[in-house]
Structure 1
Amino acid sequence: MTTDDEPTTARSVGSSHSRGLPLWAETLVLLGSAVVLALVIKTLLLQAFYIPSVSMEPGLQEDDRILVEKWSGWFGGEPERGDVVVFEDPGGWLIAGEVSEPGNPVSSLLGRVGLLPTGGHLVKRVIGVPGDVIECCDSEGRITVNGVAIDEDAYVLEDKAAQCRGPMTGSCDWSAGPVPEGTVFVMGDNRVNSADSTVHMCLEGETECVPGDEFVPTQLITGRLWLRVWPFSAFGGLEGTDAFDDVPDRSDDAPEAS
């Protein structure tokens, strides 16, 4: 005899087995839920990447694994000077050896849902935002933003052979900007080995270039660097920088991006 007060068994309320769902179907449901959750996280919150080159040394080393956060852009938040950002290739920026896509179908699938790092992106530091004018270089070899020299000792890789902290092109006499609306000007921390905005500028006398290609559309920015997760010995975020604190507000007459 049973009564209404008897405790329920493991097969009563809420049990998938009581509904006739076999184990293999339960497994598929769980896997499907995990994939959907991973896609939601990748789309809205976080995405994994790895560093394919030495362009951001000393802060980020080749083969480091990082997480990029996306929530700072939910409400129209724009990149700020000094931010380290990951962005899609604007077109012709990735050089040979820097594209590192997963090498097999399983890795490719895991990469698409955000469970493995993927290639096809670049990581650089934002130097100029809309309205800014960037110039190279002052008498001490420092770049200037809106006329203010930037002390980058905290994050730029020291190269005693370099005459300035300008571009990979080797020129220490150039200017860029005003940065158009909807774009940013970016540079790698390893200034002599970084295919960044400076490489795509039209220097005086150059004809094999397209004016404006040095600026990265903000719509291509995936997000800001949040954490380095590998190697474990370097786990954590990069320290912020106050190098741009004295730069005056950007100009209100920044041109529209073409």
Structure 2
Amino acid sequence: MTVGDDDRTGTAGTGGTALAGARPERPRKVRKVGKQWPWWQELPILIVVALVVALGIKTFFVQAFSIPSGSMQNTLQVGDRVLVDKFTPWFGAEPQRGEVVVFRDPGGWLDDQPAQDGGASPNVISKALAFVGLMPSADEQDLIKRVIAVGGDTVTCERGEPVEVNGRPLNEPYVYPGATPCDDLPVGTVKVPKDHLWVMGDHRDSSRDSRAHVEEPGGGFVPVDDVIGRAFVVAWPLSRWSLLPVPATFDRP
């Protein structure tokens, strides 16, 4: 076998190893490829990327909403900020009994309801943050209530009696202290149509919910397609941070 020139001289060839006593090569400096931009040129790009990510989160994952009225007291107070899950409905999840949901006006429900937090008009920064979902929009006209029954359920709401779903009375510790389950707006017995919901506020004496709209078009029922998502946590103020779980009374079949 003929030995190559590199082996005779003791110098490592391409892919070889230097022999003992050979002088090691000095490490070479790694040069940066391309031109490095100054921070003031990179900053606008980073801001745009962050806004795009925030907008995507608002559109497909989570959005903040502000509570404008006392219809869900004491579970939710006026001015609370809740985070709403908009992600799971993309995989076919539908609202369940006991969940607190945000939904679009089914038609005429907001005619006598207060708008979102009053006060001074929002500035440009507030509008921009609301647009990408980092804070609630001042002109949102959505509603938030608790799902009491779903399509196919029978609801009974009589004066002096607890709310019944499919013949079973609900134990409702979340109802505002001093309020009655149905006394102010008794509606008797109703059957929830398929793909619809029956919703009620936790402050029953101060909530114009499904009961208040039974004589209107739609019968007080909320189409599932109008539901934006489930409110799962009170995020602000921090002193009121809490989860919004499904009450135990809805765990029964």
Q: TM-score, normalised by structure 2?
A: 0.80
Partner of 1:188: 201
Q: CA deviation at 1:28?
A: 1.6
Residue 176 (structure 1) aligns with: 190
Q: List alignment gaps of at least 5 residues for structure 1.
A: 203-208, 248-258
From 87, 91, 97, the equivalent of 1:75 is 91
Structure 2 match to 1:132: 153
Which one is further off, 95-104 or 23-32?
A: 95-104
| Residues 70, 222 of structure 1: 8 Å contact kept | yes
1:201 aligns with one of 214, 217, 226: 214
Moved more, 85-94 or 184-193: 85-94
Task: Name the counterpart of 1:227.
Answer: 233
Count of equivalent residues: 224
Equivalent of residue 79 in structure 2, options 37, 51, 63: 63
Of structures 1 and 2, the larger Rg is shown by 2
Contact 1:226 1:237 survives alignment (8 Å): yes
What does residue 206 of structure 1 align with? none
Compare the two structures and name the one with the higher helix fraction.
Answer: 2
Matched, 1:141 2:161: yes
Tell whether the 8 Å contact from 1:137 to 1:166 is kept in structure 2 after alignment: yes
Contact 1:129 1:185 in 2 (8 A): yes
Task: For residue 234 of structure 2, give the secondary structure of its aligned residue in structure 1.
Answer: strand
| Counterparts of 1:69 and 1:227, CA distance in 2 | 9
Structure 1 residues 4, 145: CA separation in 2 closer, same or farther (over 3 Å shift)? farther
Which runs of 5 or more structure 2 residues have no equivalent in the other structure?
A: 1-24
Partner of 2:27: 5
How has the CA–CA distance of structure 1 residues 183 and 173 changed in structure 2, closer, same or farther, with 3 Å as cutoff?
A: closer
Residue number in structure 2 paired with 1:256? none
Quote the Cα distance in structure 2 between the aligned partners of 1:173 and 1:196.
12
Query: RMSD over aligned Cα, in angstroms?
Result: 2.3
**1:120 match:** 141
Query: Which segments of structure 1 move beyond 6 Å, counting only runs of 4 or more?
Result: none
Q: Give CA-to-partner distance per residue, 1:93-137, whole Å, 9 cap, x none.
A: 223423448723332221111011122211100011001111112
Distance 1:171 1:55 in 2: 14
Corresponding position: 1:97 with 2:119: no
Q: 1:65–1:228: 8 Å Cα contact kept in structure 2? A: yes
Q: Percent identity?
A: 40
Out of 34, 41, 53, which is 1:37 matched to? 53
